[in-house]
Structure 1
Amino acid sequence: MGFFRVQKSKLSGKVKISGAKNAALPILAASLLTNDVVIVENVPDLLDVQTMLCIIRESGKKVEFENGKIKISGEVTNGKISYELVRKMRASFNVLGPLAAVLGKARVALPGGCAIGVRPVDFHIEGLKKLGFEITIEHGEVYAEYRKKDKDVIISLPFPSVGATEHLMTTAAILEGTTIIENAAMEPEIEDLQSFLNKMGAKVSGAGTKKIFIEGVNLLNSVKHKVIPDRIEAGTYAIAIAASGGKGYIENIIPSHLDALWQVLTETGTILEFYENKVFVDGSREKKSAKINILPYPGFPTDLQPQIMVYLSVAKGTSMISENVFKNRFLHVDELVRMGADIYITNGTAIINGVEKLSGAKVEGTDLRASAALIIAGLIAEGTTEVYNDFHVLRGYELIVDKIRSLGGNIEHLG
């Protein structure tokens, strides 16, 4: 089992943000809809991306990946995706609809992914049923067979699920008639997926709002697309610089994608300067407490909740973080307490009493973002911190050791 060894460091300089993992994965799943060549650029080389590429290869397509550029060609010939691949990440489930739409039927295992609470695929399955698929679940697998879609379909999501929104809008793109997704998620990654689909010849509109319209087409064509920057990676490094008391530039980003984070950092004493595609972060001032509600976009993102908790753990006063997306996403709290943080959970809210300092310790990353948060904790803690379960971080942060070192951070990847 590999781990990261981290020592206290004040980060400064500049860091270039990679392409968005959470945009690349649904775009790659959507590539199954065409037999023509698909080229996707600015793709981060991550474990999750490699898993999705293995799934696409298993479907029968040819895949080439070099220097952030993916080329996908050939036809889909296999609609059964192995459990060994699907168990690794939740986003893999998003190939079920496209495979079944292309081949008429498909079989995909129930997905795995980060341990951040209950995340059923009910919204996906109910939506696929409305799109005309017959769904059977047995032996841990979901079997989808296309029957016939009604000409006009309205799917109202009980919660603005990002994965379900992406899955259903992708699948509906090549099904007859009109589909409307109500209470859709509004994340920038969904807008990027819409852009990709429309470049292929799809007719999708409304992404970025609560209502998405899809007019099905018979055929999608070749496409070349560049993935948007990763706002969660950008936010992670911004928090890391601010928490360490350093100063630095976060480059190659779309600043407006992180407005909720910028508001919290500003309110708590971090100085920010905004440019067209970068942000300057100055964390040299004393940090103040805050109250944060974790909400679907454009609210404060759940994927930055563990990181901002580390930042607030050494802020003056008492902070509160209410998690309204994944109620049980607090497994990192025990590890932060092990490092000297004063945090307790009550009714889905973390109460954080700021302490003067954290102390290095051996800790265990329980999911992708929690592991990144523990690395930040190691950068501000006295002594040495070892963050175990390295594979979580490698799923979602490209070249993290190189990037932290470029900012002056003391970090090693061992084991």
Structure 2
Amino acid sequence: MAFIEIHGPCRIQGGLTVQGSKNAVLPMMAASVLNRGITVLENVPRIQDVFCMMGILDSLGCRCALHGNRLEIDTSKINGWRIEQKAMGKMRSSIMLLGALLGRFCEAGVYSPGGCMIGKRPIDWHLRALRALGAEIRESEPDGFLHAQTTGLRGAEIIFPFPSVGAVENALFAAVAAVGRTVLRGCAREPEIGQLCHFLNGMGASIRGIGTDALIIEGGLPLHDSRFVIGGDRIVAGTYLLAAASCSGEVIVDGVQTQELRALTGVLEHMGVSLYQEPELIYVHSGQRLRAVSVKTGPYPAFPTDLQPFLMAALSRADGTSMLRETVFENRFGTAAELQKMGANIECSGNIARIDGVETLRGALVRARDLRGGAALTVAALGADGWTRVSECEHIERGYEDICRDLRALGAEIRRREDDGDREDTD
């Protein structure tokens, strides 16, 4: 196991270009299975989730090659429709291969997925959508194996009771392969869904209504080789903006669509942070103690649940009492217990967290329980007195190319080390 050490307090300052979006590239990698040829993705982040998905695709007979941030996927020799349980357990995003493999082979076998333990995140809506398109799906206990088959996918009208990103992605893959028109209503409107639709259209699909909650797909069209440039990761951008806010920093983040972060920038302004924005650039300057705010998470365009742990970390040192209401994942407050070890005054009850800001946090030994929570502890440590050690930092590496490199470039005293002390990054 590895850990990250941070010495605070420090004031980060400088500029960063955001890496490609994790939540955009993973479904595109799954969608590449639909094309019987080569897909090229540019601006791909070199993160563990990408390497994991490459491994899954390779196990199915695909050929994946990542050169720098350019990924080439050749699916012409894919010969498998079943993913092994061990591979599925490493990453929740692997569930989206269910719809893609079903569209390619009319058969797919997967297991209930793994990933961060931040909530139940049931896949019922995924299965209902695929069944509506003509799939027969058997679920076996206790291993959670899902076997999907169809004699032919057919277009249908599907209404989602909740805007689930993953369910919409699986439905899109199957709908692109289905014969006839599919109408998806109640869709998630996250920017990553929009990127995926544009990517699929670039392969030859026909998807209309992009950016709305109603998508119309004309299925069964021939697909072809394509190239697509991944947009910047809005959650990584938000990470460094909230890092600057929490430690009186001054940071410029570019390479991300500013409009995708309107919920965050609005909250930052209410917290007393100065901002300047251009279409693909955000500048923040925090020169005083933050003001307390009340925020509720929700599906896009509401405040993103993935940024809630970072906001909690920043508000731990704000002036006054803040309230956070989590409406997406029931276990998203797991980071609160770790922040309490650093002196934060946080009380959680159900889906509500009350945060009474303290003037200072102190360094402590804390544990990364999940991807965003671990990164949020790293952000909190920037403003804490003394050394903080964040253990199990492998969670963080699922979504960040190198958080230590990025924060060091902004002036932080931070390093990644192995538990035995034999290895240490030296960038």
Q: Shift of the alpha carbon at 1:164? A: 0.7
Q: Shift of the alpha carbon at 1:58? A: 1.4
SS in 2 for 1:316: coil
CA–CA distance in structure 2, aligned partners of residues 134 and 170 of structure 1 = 16
Is structure 2 residue 125 aligned with structure 1 residue 123? yes
Q: Shift of the alpha carbon at 1:250? A: 0.6
Q: Shift of the alpha carbon at 1:340? A: 0.4
CA contact (8 A) 1:20 1:43 kept: yes
Structure 1 residues 310-389: aligned runs within 5 Å: 310-389=313-392
Which letter does structure 1 place at the counterpart of 2:302? G
Q: Shift of the alpha carbon at 1:32? A: 0.3
Equivalent residue in structure 1 for 2:91, among 82, 89, 92: 89
CA–CA distance in structure 2, aligned partners of residues 58 and 178 of structure 1 = 32
1:251-303 CA-partner distances (Å, limit 9, x unpaired): 11111100000000001100000123211110112210000010100000000
Match of 1:58 in 2: 59
SS in 1 for 2:244: helix
Question: % of aligned pairs identical?
Answer: 39
Which letter does structure 1 place at the counterpart of 2:181? T
Match of 2:16 in 1: 15
CA contact (8 A) 1:178 1:213 kept: yes
Match of 2:150 in 1: 146
Q: How many residue pairs are counted as aligned between the two chains?
A: 414
Q: Bigger shift: 169-178 or 364-373?
A: 169-178
CA–CA distance in structure 1, aligned partners of residues 331 and 395 of structure 2 = 18
Match of 1:280 in 2: 283
Which letter does structure 1 place at the counterpart of 2:397? L
Which letter does structure 2 place at the counterpart of 1:82? E
Match of 2:423 in 1: none
Which letter does structure 2 place at the counterpart of 1:99? L
Q: Shift of the alpha carbon at 1:218? A: 3.7
Equivalent residue in structure 2 for 1:162, among 142, 155, 165: 165
SS in 1 for 2:158: strand
Which letter does structure 2 place at the counterpart of 1:170? F
Q: Shift of the alpha carbon at 1:147? A: 2.8
Q: Shift of the alpha carbon at 1:400? A: 1.2
Which letter does structure 2 place at the counterpart of 1:37? I
Which letter does structure 1 place at the counterpart of 2:100? P
Which letter does structure 2 place at the counterpart of 1:368? L
Structure 1: any 5+ residue segments left out of the alignment? none
SS in 2 for 1:173: helix
CA contact (8 A) 1:108 1:142 kept: yes
Q: Bigger shift: 69-78 or 377-386?
A: 69-78
Equivalent residue in structure 1 for 2:139, among 110, 134, 137: 137
Q: Shift of the alpha carbon at 1:50? A: 0.5
CA RMSD of aligned residues (A): 1.0
Q: Bigger shift: 67-76 or 192-201?
A: 67-76
Match of 2:400 in 1: 397
Q: Shift of the alpha carbon at 1:35? A: 1.1
TM-score (norm 2): 0.95
CA contact (8 A) 1:63 1:72 kept: yes
Q: Shift of the alpha carbon at 1:338? A: 0.8
Match of 2:31 in 1: 30
Q: Shift of the alpha carbon at 1:140? A: 1.8
CA–CA distance in structure 2, aligned partners of residues 347 and 400 of structure 1 = 31
CA–CA distance in structure 2, aligned partners of residues 109 and 250 of structure 1 = 38
Q: Shift of the alpha carbon at 1:36? A: 1.8
SS in 1 for 2:376: helix
TM-score (norm 1): 0.98
Q: Shift of the alpha carbon at 1:182? A: 1.0
Match of 2:412 in 1: 409
Is structure 2 residue 187 aligned with structure 1 residue 184? yes
Q: Shift of the alpha carbon at 1:322? A: 0.2
Which letter does structure 1 place at the counterpart of 2:94? S
Which letter does structure 2 place at the counterpart of 1:329? R
CA contact (8 A) 2:21 2:231 kept: yes
